[in-house]
Amino acid sequence: MKLTFSDYVKNHRFSLKCVPHDTDLQKIENMTVEVYPDNITSEDEDSYGNITLFGYTNELHDSFRFDVKGIAVTGREEYEKADELHKIGIFKYQSPKTKPGLRILAFYQKLDLKNFACATEKASAIMDGLAESFKYVQGITDMETTAEEAFAGGCGVCQDYAHIMLSLCRMERIPCRYVAGMMMGEGLSHAWVEIWNEGRWIGYDPTNHKLVDDEYIKISNGRDSEDCLVNQGIFTGNVSQIQEINVVVEEVFDE
């Protein structure tokens, strides 16, 4: 990712959630992280287990970028275990980004989920319904768009698909979380949903209308996209900025 500023800035403090971590589904190897200006001061995990890099620089700079490279060994397990049950409850409740309005409420009633017995059946029905009622279109929504706003407009991107599915699952009291990551064939970052069922997290990709498999690399998870922001920071300078993101995921084989 690269940020280009219209003039020089300084006193730049930043936090990055851009580093994949080991899970039951993936093991990260040969990881390298390059940041410019090169001033990472610490690394920690947030309350959701996401790796967070913190940094500060007082150096004048008109761009900020980071580059993450490595190998993700995927397909290790079919599901991610959910051992810390005391942390599951927070994912039952709506967040500001997923809170339903009249449009989502009407769609929820139309789905008539009472005929499905378990969380996985309900999640599949929600994903099926969303595939028929929402379209993928870039440039219509932005990072601030809520699930209700996106659904009312009828189209959006992967973040919007995920927020809408989270909203509907939480109306059924299904613990579920937003996931940010990457997948094969994408030139950008991606987002999907994990639902909790019988001690395991199961991934659903409503954008592509499929279950998550070994083509996906997980970076972070949280209640919604706000918990998974790749880059947050403050700096001194009256500037505008342009953000560029480039994601390359290639399949490699052992020789």
pLDDT at residue 243, as a whole number: 84
* Placement of tokens 């440039």 in the chain: 139
| Cis peptide bond upstream of 96, omega within 30 | no
Instruction: Give tens-digit pLDDT for 166-223.
Output: 999 999 999 999 999 999 876 678 999 999 998 899 999 999 999 999 999 999 999 9
Instruction: Give tens-digit pLDDT for 54-67.
Output: 999 999 999 999 99
DSSP 198-247: TTEEEEEETTTTEE--TTEEEEEEESSGGGG-SEEEEEE----EEEE---
Model pTM score: 0.92
- Please tell me whether residue 248 adopts helix, strand or coil conformation: coil
pLDDT at residue 254, as a whole number: 64
Structure tokens at 114: 């009472």
Instruction: Give tens-digit pLDDT for 219-253.
Output: 999 999 999 999 999 999 999 998 888 888 888 76
DSSP 66-131: EEEEEEEEE-S-SSEE---GGGTGGGGS--TTT---HHHHHHHHHH-GGG--SHHHHHHHHHHHHH
